[in-house]
Amino acid sequence: MGRVRQHQALEERLLFERSSPGKVGYQLPALDVPQVDPEEALGSAHVRDEIPGFPEVSEVEVIRHFTRLSSWNYAIDSGMYPLGSCTMKYNPRLNEAVARIDGIIDAHPYQPECLAQGMLEIQRTLEAYLAEICGMDAVTLQPAAGAHGELTGLLLIRAYLESQGDARRVVLIPDSAHGTNPATASIAGYEVVEIPSNRLGMIDLATLRDAVDDSVAALMVTNPNTVGIFEQDIAEVAAALHERGAQLYMDGANMNALVGIARPGDFGVDVMHLNLHKTFSTPHGGGGPGAGPVAVKRHLEPHLPLPRIRAAESGLGFDWDRPASIGRVRAFYGNFGVLVRALAYILAHGGDGLRNATVDAVLNANYIRKGLEGHYELPYEAASMHECIFSDSRQAKHGVKTGDIAKRLIDYGFHPYTVSFPLIVRGALMIEPTETESKHELDEFIAAMRSIAEEAERDPGLIRSSPVTTRTSRVDETRAARKPILKWQGAGRE
């Protein structure tokens, strides 16, 4: 069918099921110092018995095991991965290579500053570029992921407001926001008040003005929002908050729509995070590691996490003397290896290249939107930025839901879009192609989606029973949650 051909997928047991006593996949160098008796050195009560159930396999089996497992994954290296708000773009291999250079990958976080100049230079350069891209004054690279950046950002707001005499109580969050926003606000000790979107899918200025009072610490906004629309009134929103002493936080999940085109700092954002694993191409790796740098305006800078990098005559070093800092959000200096990759991405594009990537990303999303209009219901008419949102309302009449369409898309050789998000669109299909996709790939995707729309009318049962071309047929998630099996249960108990 289309671009899919069946091929063999080799079966593979778990490591524990390949195990046999005495097999090894390693050899350590001969010990060049006297062997110490563990029981003597540690006391017998502190020494463990052998690790029950732990695998014993050979090196070739390890390679085959993981190679077979890898063949069961879809990946951006295989094809388009149109997950909305996830920005699944090509992960340049050069970035993997430079992150592994000796001297960088083996640098110890506590090695003397005189031997860490290269690392500090990488961080300082990345901080400067990210600040330039966002139109902000300072950046911390410490947060390990987007949600971690959100927490850092809210703690910065909190510290700033406290320094003004009142931390306030409430964080406003639009109903279209990612789940991490309200979860983060809770962790930062704030009460969440949800702001309903208007019928255009945007923040309603009048509603917002009504909601902002002296108890409000901040609004967390995603822009472009999760419907893929630029918040037209963002400057007025910022002004409304600032008038009442509140701050504007921007979730930078959708920054791939703005790089080189518009800068959050220019439209009133006080603090924002970036997802380096989205906009700046660092690999998702099946769910991490990410990095969530936070960019701030000058008034929040004194509160940034410890330590900061400072330049002195003797070279670069860490500044620990920052009494207004919120403290640390992570040990050491962040996911440094991820930062290296992001810097390599920026260097490869340059300023113009980054802008061109944004143009292609927005072009691709609008091309898909045009290609699918008339086949799927478009809940919002406003212009799309880097992603477009449809609803399943036409297909739902035939009993086909967005989740079913997603599974059928797998049979056409694509990873599904984001299913049922944002929550304000019933049965949402959220599609973000990124700049990585060629016209050919987009045309195939559009053709597949149109074909599924036809199937929904002709043969809804086929869609509901998909995927049919994968090694694994539809996975029973309900069963997994009903009686959780979270580790291997041992031989003979399969």
Amino acid at 357: A
How many Cβ atoms are within 10 Å of 44's Cβ, its own excluded? 8
Q: Using the rule CB under 8 A, is 436 a contact of other proteins?
A: yes
Q: Using the rule CB under 8 A, is 64 a contact of other proteins?
A: no
Residue 72 or 397 with smaller CB distance to other proteins: 72
Q: Computed over its alpha carbons, how large is the radius of gyration of the chain?
A: 25
Residue 184 or 457 with smaller CB distance to other proteins: 184
Residue in the structure block whose two tokens are 């739902």:
396
Select from 10, 206, 324, 348 the one that contacts other proteins (CB under 8 A).
348
CB of 158 to other proteins, least distance (A): 7
User: Within 13 A of 365's CA, how many CA atoms are on the CB side?
Assistant: 32
Q: Using the rule CB under 8 A, is 94 a contact of other proteins?
A: yes
Residue 156 or 457 with smaller CB distance to other proteins: 156
Amino acid at 240: A
Select from 80, 88, 212, 424 the one that contacts other proteins (CB under 8 A).
88
What is d(CA 361, CA 257) in angstroms, rounded to the nearest whole number?
7
What is d(CA 188, CA 184) in angstroms, rounded to the nearest whole number?
6
Select from 1, 2, 10, 23 the one that contacts other proteins (CB under 8 A).
23
Q: Is 220 left (phi over 0), alpha (psi -120 to 50) or beta?
A: beta
Q: Using the rule CB under 8 A, is 163 a contact of other proteins?
A: no
Residue 145 or 400 with smaller CB distance to other proteins: 145
Residue 76 or 240 with smaller CB distance to other proteins: 76
Q: Six-digit token pair at 295?
A: 């960019």
Q: Within its chain, how far is the Cα of 250 from the centroid? A: 15
Which helix (H) or strand (E) covers residue 450, if one does? helix 439-458
End-to-end CA distance of the chain: 35
Q: Which letter does DSSP use for residue 173 in this model?
A: E
Stretch that binds other proteins, among 12-20, 240-248, 387-395, 425-433 (CB under 8 A): 12-20
β partners of residue 419: 429
Q: Using the rule CB under 8 A, is 116 a contact of other proteins?
A: yes
What is d(CA 307, CA 325) in angstroms, rounded to the nearest whole number?
9
Q: Using the rule CB under 8 A, is 65 a contact of other proteins?
A: yes
Residue 13 or 397 with smaller CB distance to other proteins: 13
What is d(CA 181, CA 437) in angstroms, rounded to the nearest whole number?
29
Q: Six-digit token pair at 303?
A: 């509160």
Stretch that binds other proteins, among 203-211, 239-247, 259-267, 455-463 (CB under 8 A): 259-267
CB of 176 to other proteins, least distance (A): 12
212, 241 in Cβ contact below 8 A? yes
Q: Using the rule CB under 8 A, is 46 a contact of other proteins?
A: yes
274, 155 in Cβ contact below 8 A? no
Q: Six-digit token pair at 23?
A: 């097999």
From residue 442 to residue 461, the character string flagging contacts with other proteins as x (rule: CB under 8 A) and all else as - is --------------------
Contact positions with other proteins (CB under 8 A) in 208-227: none
What is d(CA 175, CA 203) in angstroms, rounded to the nearest whole number?
9
Q: Using the rule CB under 8 A, is 491 a contact of other proteins?
A: no
Q: Using the rule CB under 8 A, is 164 a contact of other proteins?
A: no
CB of 104 to other proteins, least distance (A): 5
From residue 300 to residue 339, the character string flagging contacts with other proteins as x (rule: CB under 8 A) and all else as - is -----xx-------------------xxxxxxxxxxxxx-
From residue 123 to residue 152, the character string flagging contacts with other proteins as x (rule: CB under 8 A) and all else as - is ------x--xx-x--------xxxxx-xx-
Select from 80, 240, 405, 406 the one that contacts other proteins (CB under 8 A).
406
Indicate the pairing of strand 138-140 with strand 170-174. unpaired
DSSP result, 427-443: TEEEE---TT--HHHHH
Contact positions with other proteins (CB under 8 A) in 351-390: 351-357, 359-360, 362-364, 366-367, 370, 382-383, 385
Residue 285 or 399 with smaller CB distance to other proteins: 285
Residue 299 or 443 with smaller CB distance to other proteins: 443
